[in-house]
Amino acid sequence: MKIDRLLGILSVLANTDRITIQGLAERFEVSKRTIFRDLDTLNQSGVPVVAYSGIGGGVSLLEGYKLKNNILSKDDIKNIFTALNGLMSIDESNDLTNLMAKLIPEETSMVFSESDYVIDLSSWFQDSITQEKVSNLYKAIKNRKCIYLEYISKRSRRVRIIHPHKLVFKQAYWYLYAFCEDNQEFRLFKVSRIAAYKIMDASFNYKTVEKIDFKKDFGVGLFSSENQKPLFEVILEYDIINEFFLTDKIDAKFFHRMSSTEDKGQIIFSVSDLEWTSNLIFSLQDKIKVIAPPELKEAVKIRIKRINELYKDDI
């Protein structure tokens, strides 16, 4: 939008001594002709923009002309940059580019070098299915369009019509927070469990969402290193050589080595859900052995027998 770009240009001019027309055009991803028109608009609005020709030329605000001091501190700017940069990793729209320029008057490379965090929400893979879903779901949210959704839940696979409100990135996964017409309530849909979807022509009335109750969908945590009256203490044995692979699945804080000379270690944590833990065990392949509890060991053995039954004719 032009007003956003004008505010962005004004912010840049207020915080830099001089900048070229080409520099402004590249920064806001528009033509030099558009920048000239924007500068003319600022002049007509009473903002004294001065042009300098020759080597080292460019444009700046008239010397002595002061805008209200920037209310953002250096730390504020770095934090805003980090957040916006994270969003721009999945959405490269002009809206975010202009907002970045409006709020971050300094060169982004300089702010990046001083920032303590880097947030990148994009996938390692350019043709990511999840990335495509997230992009399309975002468009539906922005345009207030209903979505015809085929979703795989724990109980069934069925279709429903939802009103998408927010995209949620939590613990390495994307979720869609939406109002479900069938259940007449908000719920979280895991993006990877969306089998098919279609953005409809029908629009919906946006409902104000003040807070998302993650505990309702995620609980308070499936395992913990603290002994807060756990139902089961899980002990897994592993070979040290497999430690790197295993820490992709379980946080390293749960890993214990008996001594620096031992070639084996133990993973110890507490859980309340053995079915979830059994699924976790199988995702760890043959890299671990269940030591405790006996209920988990028995559940794993039963699963192994079932798998053997599936492949007995091929062995």
Measured distance CA(5)–CA(23) in Å, rounded: 14
What is the pLDDT confidence band of residue 220, given thresholds at 50, 70 and 90?
Answer: very low
Task: Check whether 61 has a pLDDT greater than 60.
Answer: yes
What is the pLDDT confidence band of residue 18, given thresholds at 50, 70 and 90?
Answer: confident
Structure tokens of 112? 């990046």
For the stretch 237-282, pLDDT in tens is 999 899 899 988 888 888 988 776 778 999 998 888 888 889 899 9
C-beta separation of 5 from 28 below 8 A: yes
Single-letter amino acid, residue 5: R
Q: What is the phi/psi pair of residue 198, to 5°?
A: -145, 125
Structure tokens of 85? 């940069």
Largest alpha-carbon pair distance within the chain? 87
Structure tokens of 100? 């970045």
Bridge-based pairing state of the strands 157-170 and 173-180: antiparallel
pLDDT at 275: 86
pLDDT at 231: 78
Averaged pLDDT for residues 7-12: 77
Averaged pLDDT for residues 137-147: 93
Single-letter amino acid, residue 127: D
Q: Which residues contact 203 (CB under 8 A, 6 or more apart)?
A: 143, 144, 145, 146
Task: Check whether 226 has a pLDDT greater than 50.
Answer: no
**Alpha-carbon dihedral 207, 208, 211, 216, rounded to 10 degrees:** -20
Task: Check whether 147 has a pLDDT greater than 90.
Answer: yes
pLDDT at 253: 87
Nearest by Cα to 293 from 247, 227, 231: 231
For the stretch 80-123, pLDDT in tens is 666 666 666 666 666 666 666 656 655 555 555 566 666 666 66
What is the pLDDT confidence band of residue 210, given thresholds at 50, 70 and 90?
Answer: confident
Averaged pLDDT for residues 195-217: 84
3-class SS string, the chain: CHHHHHHHHHHHHHHCCCECHHHHHHHHCCCHHHHHHHHHHHHHCCCCEEEECCCCCEEEECCCCCCCCCCCCHHHHHHHHHHHHHHHCCCCCHHHHHHHHHHCCCCHHHHHHHCCCCCCCCCCCCCCHHHHHHHHHHHHHHCCEEEEEEEECCCCEEEEEEEEEEEEEECCEEEEEEEECCCCEEEEEEHHHEEEEEEEEEECCCCCCCCCCHHHHHCCCCEECCCCCCCEEEEEEEEHHHHHHHCCCCCHHHEEECCCCCCEEEEEEEECCHHHHHHHHHHCCCCEEEEECHHHHHHHHHHHHHHHHHHHHHC
Task: Check whether 64 has a pLDDT greater than 80.
Answer: no
